[in-house]
Amino acid sequence: MSGHSTYEPKTGFTRWLDSRLPIIRLGYDSFVDYPTPKNLNYWYTFGGILSLCLMTQIITGIILAMHYVPHVDHAFNSVEHIMRDVNHGWLIRYVHANGASMFLFAVYMHMFRGLYYGSYKAPREVLWILGCVIYLLMMATAFMGYVLPWGQMSFHGAVVITNLLGAFPVVGESITTWLWGGFAVDNPTLNRFFSLHFLMPFMIAGVVILHVWALHVTGQNNPSGIDPKSKEDTVPFTPYATVKDGFAMVLFLILFSVFVFFQPNALGHADNYIPANPLVTPAHIVPEWYFLPFYAILRAVPDKLGGALLMFGAIGVLFVLPWLDTSKVKSLRYRPTARVFFFLFVLTCLILGWCGGELPDKMVFQVGATAAGDPIGLNFVWLSRIASAYYFAYFLIVMPVLGLVETPDAVPDSITASILDHSAEKKGLAHAG
Amino acid sequence: MADTVGEITPAGEDPSRRDFIHVATMAAAVGAVGSVVWPLVNQMNPSGDMLAMASLEFDLSKVADGSEVTIKWRGKPVFVRKRTPAEIAQAKADDNADLKDPAKDADRHKPGKAEWLILIGSCTHLGCVPTFGGGDWGGWFCPCHGSHYDTAGRIRKGPAPTNLALPEYAFLSDTKVKIG
């Protein structure tokens, strides 16, 4: 999409088409001849994996919609009908349900990779923001999809999340009533969630096109964070990137299959196989694993509005990330101090995920007890408070300040130089060993 | 000033007349867009049938002393609780306690009907259904995020901002109540 096109139509038909709709040229320039940095590692294969995930979800989703009934009286049973009666229905539903988890897993890998190698920094700010929009749409889609089977977790999850919007003063109640189409989560809510769950993947596909477009304008970042300077620094997309992406997809599909065929319900919750009952809330209500860190942030705040704002802020802060990082060096490969803070951040996200799945008053560890018998120690609310504080501090304090005060390592002149340095270092180690 | 305007305006054209046409067109366009967008937004609000089912009658003779019946009203649970004298006494005793959302027990039930506590059974935090008997104040406890309510349904501890809401209701007779 950028640079000079080297496509030459070879047959009469492709020459005829090329002067009318240069679609083959577009494909050739974008996915065959497109120059990619020659040092891309396996962390860079998640982009391709994500497009595979999106396609899988759209195809299985459209099929499921042929058998599913979006009505409170039939939704749960129609899902069981898919599982028991529809030919291969169990497979298609398990691929779709686990596919959501796989999709979110891949997107988290993709995001952490972008954070580590500074892929959000100039000139890739728009590329990053489009990615954040995709992530936001994915979360909305995943949430609404989880409501559709109309089990206990579906229903009460929907109640809790939609009530978050009720936290806003004055307009909160009108917003929730409008969203529900009634005075509680009910049939109108299920109906519209189904409609929107069907629509949103296509919106995601649209933003993905913009995301890839922006990527092809600026060119890919790479582990060194140095932009390609000569032809020597790049290799053509095909066969190099296609083969590497393809191999990573195969490995990813193996992991995917392990879940679909051996542990199809490991990532779900048993309570969701109980039909929704608005009069009884399950004893322990938790969201899907991919929302747990945000759920922990929500519960870390004792105030309803404050918790909701902080949770939305945790995602909002990603949008302004390109302007929070003051470092001139992109890749953390050359920022040893920043690397420590980064791995601490990854650990924090995992801890938040752990907190989100536990009851707030449960003790992480106990050192004693008061006279009244109350335990003394650290409970999960306090652990999530500490972790939430670091989550925000990483973006709002570490990123702006560290870029100004740290001394980064020497950055090589080019991608090729970085590779030669790297292998020289390895050889040196081998000799020393 | 008048001279300057006269100079830049071509002969035979009245600038204020042209401005008026621009403003009027813009106003009409905004009005048109608004009148098209509003139905698209408003269709998501509760429909007529949803609003029509908004009230119901309930026979209180089914509820024994110290027990509770949960009924569904507007898609939400409503607790109809027949309180014991001990529960009422406890609720009254706490009238002047340090309350997050201060309310007297007398304002939580209809006059002379202290035994009947009728509440919307939706936690004011995020809408889960609290269960009776849990919690530190002998009332309701919400399993989702740990809010404690007392025997008058007042919030005592936890993230919920307000007391359990009271539905609009009236006694039709000693044993019959109309909710909504």
User: What tokens were used for A199?
Assistant: 């629509």
Mean pLDDT of A376-404: 94
Total residue count of chain A as it appears in this document = 433
DSSP state of A67: T
Q: What is the pLDDT of residue B147?
A: 87
**Residue A1's pLDDT band (cuts 50, 70, 90):** very low
Q: What is the pLDDT of residue A252?
A: 98
pLDDT digits (tens, 9 = 90+) for A308-321: 899 999 999 999 99
pLDDT at A10 over 70: yes
Q: Which of B41, B70, B143 sits opposite A283 (nearest CB)?
A: B143
pLDDT digits (tens, 9 = 90+) for B65-121: 888 999 988 888 999 999 999 889 888 888 888 888 898 888 999 988 888 999 999
Handedness of CA A92, A98, A100, A102 (dihedral sign): negative
ipTM of the complex: 0.76
Q: What is the pLDDT of residue B48?
A: 87
Q: What is the pLDDT of residue B13?
A: 64
Q: What is the pLDDT of residue B157?
A: 86
Distance from CA of A255 to the nearest CA of B (A): 33
pLDDT at A26 over 80: yes
Q: B157 CB near a chain A CB, below 8 Å?
A: no
Q: What is the pLDDT of residue A432?
A: 46
> Higher pLDDT residue, A52 or A301?
A52
**Reduced to 3 states, what is the DSSP secondary structure of residue B169?**
strand
Instruction: Answer yes or no: pTM beyond 0.90.
Output: no
**What average pLDDT does the structure give for chain B?**
86
DSSP state of A3: S
Nearest residue of chain A to residue B161 (CA atoms): A304
CB contacts under 8 A, B 12-71 vs A, are 41, 44-47, 50, 54, 70
Q: What is the pLDDT of residue A421?
A: 77
Q: What is the pLDDT of residue B73?
A: 87
Number of CB atoms found within 10 A of residue A197's CB: 21
Closest CA relative to residue B133, chosen from B101, B87, B95: B87
Distance from CA of B26 to the nearest CA of A (A): 29
Q: B77 CB near a chain A CB, below 8 Å?
A: yes
Closest CA relative to residue A190, chosen from A160, A220, A216, A159: A159
Identify all chain A residues contacting B121, using CB atoms and an 8 Å cutoff.
279
Interface contact flag, B44 A178, Cβ < 8 Å: yes
Closest CA relative to residue A139, chosen from A172, A100, A81, A85: A100
**C-alpha span between B125 and A159 (Å, rounded):** 11
Distance from CA of A179 to the nearest CA of B (A): 7
Q: In what order do the strands lie in the sheet with B56-59?
A: B56-59, B176-179, B169-173
Identify all chain B residues contacting A309, using CB atoms and an 8 Å cutoff.
none
Identify all chain B residues contacting A196, using CB atoms and an 8 Å cutoff.
none
pLDDT at B18 over 90: no
Rounded (to 5) percent helix, strand, coil in chain A: 65, 5, 30
**Reduced to 3 states, what is the DSSP secondary structure of residue A30?**
helix
Cβ atoms of A299 and B155 within 8 Å: the answer is no
Interface contact flag, A280 B45, Cβ < 8 Å: no
Please report, rounded to a whole number, the percentage of residues in chain A having pLDDT higher than 70.
97
Cβ atoms of A185 and A115 within 8 Å: the answer is no
Q: What is the pLDDT of residue A433?
A: 39
Q: A188 CB near a chain B CB, below 8 Å?
A: yes
pLDDT digits (tens, 9 = 90+) for A265-278: 999 999 999 999 99
Highest mean pLDDT among A29-38, A49-58, A152-161, A171-180 belongs to A49-58
Identify all chain A residues contacting B142, using CB atoms and an 8 Å cutoff.
281
DSSP state of A49: H
pLDDT at B2 over 90: no
Nearest residue of chain B to residue A183 (CA atoms): B74
Q: Which of B72, B75, B161 sits opposite A304 (nearest CB)?
A: B161
Handedness of CA B90, B92, B96, B99 (dihedral sign): positive
Cβ atoms of B111 and B102 within 8 Å: the answer is no
**C-alpha span between B33 and A406 (Å, rounded):** 53
Handedness of CA B100, B102, B105, B110 (dihedral sign): negative
pLDDT at A261 over 80: yes
pLDDT at B10 over 90: no
Identify all chain B residues contacting A285, using CB atoms and an 8 Å cutoff.
128, 143-144
**What average pLDDT does the structure give for chain A?**
93
Choice among A1-10, A60-69, B105-114, B128-137 with the minimum mean pLDDT: A1-10
Q: A178 CB near a chain B CB, below 8 Å?
A: yes
pLDDT at A2 over 50: no
The DSSP-derived string for B36-84 is: HHHHHHHTTSPPHHHHHT--EEEEGGGPPTT-EEEEEETTEEEEEEE--
- Residue entry with tokens 């298609």: A92
pLDDT at A430 over 80: no
**Residue B1's pLDDT band (cuts 50, 70, 90):** very low
Q: What is the pLDDT of residue A265?
A: 95
Buried b (16+ CB within 10 A) or exposed e, A320-331: ebbebbebebbb
